Structure formats: structure tokens, C-alpha cells
Amino acid sequence: MAEIRLEAVTKNFGDTTAVANVDLTVRDGEFVVLLGPTGAGKTTTLRLIAGLEKPDEGRLFIGGRDAAPLSPAERDVAFVFQQYSLYPHLSVYENLAFPLRSPVRRRDEATIRKTVERVASMLRIEKKLQNRATRLSGGEMQRVAIGRALVRSPSIYLMDEPLSSLDAKLRSDMRLELQHIQRDLGATMLYVTHDQIEAMTMATRIGVLDHGRLVQVGTPREIYEAPRNVYVATRLGMPSINLLPAAAFAGQPMPPGAATIGARTEHVVVGRTTQGRSAAAKVDWIEHLGDQNHLHLSLGEHKLVTLVDPDMALSVGDAVDLSLKGALYFGADGERIAA
């Protein structure tokens, strides 16, 4: 296990900058999740660390050592690709044994067998070991891909959306499984996803990427409660944060300079009675989720989505009063202003 440190790393592909001046330290044993939409530079960051791409600028250290002269094999990282990349001409067993048979970390066959069987049973694919890698379901392939990383004890695990093609049930199982594995091994892990639930539940720290720039790094709680700007605020939260111009809640006390109100569902208080500092809204639509209802509201020309208790008897067209409780405020430049 080792610490990874990126110092002002930049990578361009032609005219586009995939990774821009990123500083990031993944501490030993830490589970860091990089969050961002497609094209934010998440995968490129992983590939730079793995040595599959060379940075145009900046430096990269693995376990305190400058990684620049090291080949991918010498960096001692494990990489789980989004596309599985199982070797199609090999069986599941041979796929899992492949890293252990490499010239740089050759093990004897008995050790290989033991390791492969241990990992296979951990991932519940022990019955599939003799199958061809192509004769598996998507979920099984993804588990083999994860298993190929787990047979080794690399200095860092790099995972590129490893759960993206699993169904919802298997995904939540694997999410727990990965957290246990990470904790048991004390593994350093850098994990890329655009799924905010994965980021929130698994990460020690989250790094939010936007067009190659690392906008904010912090614990899931920090990112959720104290986003640096509007962009970070919109990355987390279900339903996503409501962004309203400050004028929509003219009666509310606001920090000076606030141009935009960021109201998460817990910041929005829906009431029937008219109170002092509230605004009147109309119910547009209600989605019943069982334990909760999604309430679609219009406040003047603005739309909001919030969660309400299903006990609250509302129907489409009802007028409700809205007030804010501890909302986030952003200036005209999109940066957050402390309330």
C-alpha cells in the first residue's frame, strides 16, 4: 500500500485539456472517489496514475517515488477497466491467474491456485472458474475484472466505474463488498464514478472534477453540506438541488451578495398555512415513491422538486407555502457565500 500524490498534473489531447493542473493526494489506506460527469477527466486521471498516459505537465509520486520513469508494470497498480477487458481467449481461472504469472511477480502454481480460489469465493464466481471469459453474464464479467485486481496486493487499486453495468441489486451488494474488501486489506483505492450514491457511501474523501479541474476535495459530508460552488452542489443530492434566483425568496434573510439560492430538499419547508417569510407555490405534480413523495412545485416562473412525507395530503393544483431553512447561497460568480 502506498500514498499517491499528483502535483499540478496536466494532460492535453490535441486541443482539449482532459486533466488541468490537478493536485491530489490519496493517503495510504484511503478510499478516494473521483466524481464527475462524462468527459470530466476522471478516467484520464486514473490512466495517468497507471502509466497508460504520460502527463504533459506536473509530477506524480507513488509511495514517495517519482513515477515518471516507471512503466505500468513497475508502478504496481491494479486497474479495473470499465469495459472489463477480460482476456477472451482465456478461462476465468486463467484470467485471474494472469497477473500472478507475469514475469515481474511470478508465483508458483500452488500459490496461484490458492489465491485465485480465495478471490473467486470472495466474489462468488468459484463455480465459473473453468468457463471461458466470454461465457459469462455482464455482472460475472465485472466481478472477474475486479477479481483480477484483487489477486495482487498492489500499492493502489484504480477502479474505473467498476459497478456501472451491474443491476441495482448486485450493485448495492458489490458496493458493500468493495468497502469490506478495502477495509480488510487496508487498501489504497482511487475509484471513479458518476454515481453519487457510490461516491457518498464508499468514499473516505470525494474529489469533484469539472472539465479536468479538481474543483473540491473533501469528505462526503463536506462536499454535500459545504460545496464550494454551484457545480459541486449539483453533483450530490437526490432529487438534485433546486437553484433559484435570490429574488424568488425576497422575504428571506440572505447573506449579502447572494445571487442564487441552492435549496436541497431538506432546506425546503412546505406548509399549508401562510407564514411571515414564505412564498406561495403551486403543486404541479406528485410522484409517489412509497416511503416518500416527490413534489413538483412552481414558484412563480421557477420550478422546484422536493420530497414530502406521503402523509401530507396534497393534490395537484393545491397552493402551498414555502420557506427556507439553512439553504446554500451562491454569489453571481457561482461560488458559495457562507450564510
For 42, residues 6+ apart whose C-beta sits below 8 A from its C-beta are 34, 35, 36, 160, 192, 193, 194, 209
> Do residues 285 and 304 touch, judged by C-beta distance below 8 A?
no
Closest CA to 178 of 219, 146, 142, 132: 146
Binding map of other proteins across residues 283-322, x = CB under 8 A, - = no contact: ----------------------------------------
Beta strands 156-160; 4-13: pairing state: unpaired
Query: 471461458: which residue's cell?
Result: 132
Residues 154-193 that bind other proteins (CB under 8 A): 165
> Do residues 83 and 141 touch, judged by C-beta distance below 8 A?
no
Residue 324 Cβ, how far from other proteins at the closest point, in Å? 44
- Kindly indicate which of the ranges 34-42, 97-105, 196-204, 263-271 contains the residues binding other proteins, using the contact rule CB under 8 A: 97-105
Q: Which is nearer to other proteins, 103 or 290 (CB)?
A: 103
Residues 132-151 that bind other proteins (CB under 8 A): 133-134, 138, 141, 148
Q: Which is nearer to other proteins, 30 or 161 (CB)?
A: 161
Residue 155 Cβ, how far from other proteins at the closest point, in Å? 12
326 backbone φψ class: left, alpha, beta (φ>0; ψ -120 to 50): left
Q: Which is nearer to other proteins, 48 or 233 (CB)?
A: 48
Residue 104 makes contact with other proteins by CB under 8 A: yes
What are φ and ψ of residue 240, in 5° steps? -70, 160
Contact residues for other proteins (CB under 8 A)? 50-52, 71-73, 75, 77-79, 81-89, 98-99, 102-105, 133-134, 138, 141, 148, 152, 165
